Amino acid sequence: MARHLACGDHLLSLDGPRVMGILNVTPDSFSDGGRFLSRDAALRQAWHMVEAGADLVDVGGESTRPGARGVSEAEELSRVVPVIEALAKTLPVPVSVDTRTPAVMRAAADAGAGMINDVCALRGDGALAAAQQTGLPVCLMHMQGEPRTMQTEPRYKDVVAEVRGFLELRIHACLRAEIPRERLLVDPGFGFGKQLAHNLSLLRHLDQLVSLGPPLLVGISRKSMIGQILGGRPVEQRLYGSLAAAVVAALAGARILRVHDVGPTVDALKVIRALHVDERGSGY
């Protein structure tokens, strides 16, 4: 596994788990939709996350919650590009773009984005070519179905084996498209076409996904699986459950944790890092 990730003008160390702060510039995301639609609000939130310890900030202009409506390419561009351009000029950490749209990938890269985070694993028309042309790292996520219908009775015979097999195929597709392995990350896609039992099985067996080779990105923060485990807790009451899941993922080998609550997650990871520091002061 790569120890560093070249994200545009930034070099992201992966010698331990890192925190990716979520910045949704959308009106309908499941947790914070509508809160950061204006450019100034988005910039304030990004800086708040960096000051809390975020190692990178992930900007998304299209909600991919279950049942979410699609947005036009023009609308997504207008939401995402001005924010990324402003952040890339000022933030001391890389900015990632959360998109499945090739035109947005290219425009975000031109605006200064340092990474592409695609929930469709570059399966869209033209996505492989667009990602290759940007020269940026890409996170490949597993999703069964598509956002509007993905939670309509998702089924697996062996969810771990099927997710692993899918990600392996997408890695090979990227290699054929001349996107080198050192630019790839993988994400099991918690909550994307998966029921609670599927999500828990993936969390128990993350080591099987780590063994694929590329750094593992995990996004569980505030998701419905946490709410279900906690007896139906609403989004705003899922912090402690989210932290527990983040710690489990980090101990299993996840290298990037995509979260809403940056400060508490950073604190939890400091405890994990302390456990991995030897007597000479060397960490992971």
Residues with active-site annotation: 223, 258
Q: Are strands 10-13 and 217-218 parallel, antiparallel or unpaired?
A: unpaired
Burial status of residue 159 (CB atoms within 10 A of its CB: 0-12, 13-18, 19 or more): buried
Tokens of 282: 């060397």
Question: What is the CB neighbour count within 10 angstroms for residue 197?
Answer: 11
* 3-class DSSP assignment, residue 51: helix
Q: Is-contact 31 76, C-beta < 8 A?
A: no
Q: Is-contact 50 104, C-beta < 8 A?
A: no
Residue with tokens 């890389």: 94
Between CA 33 and CA 37, with CA 65 as vertex, the angle to 5 degrees is 20
Q: How far apart are CA 51 and CA 48, in angstroms?
A: 5
| Longest pairwise C-alpha distance within the chain | 55
DSSP per-residue codes, 224-265: HHHHHHTTS--GGG-HHHHHHHHHHHHHHT-SEEEES-HHHH
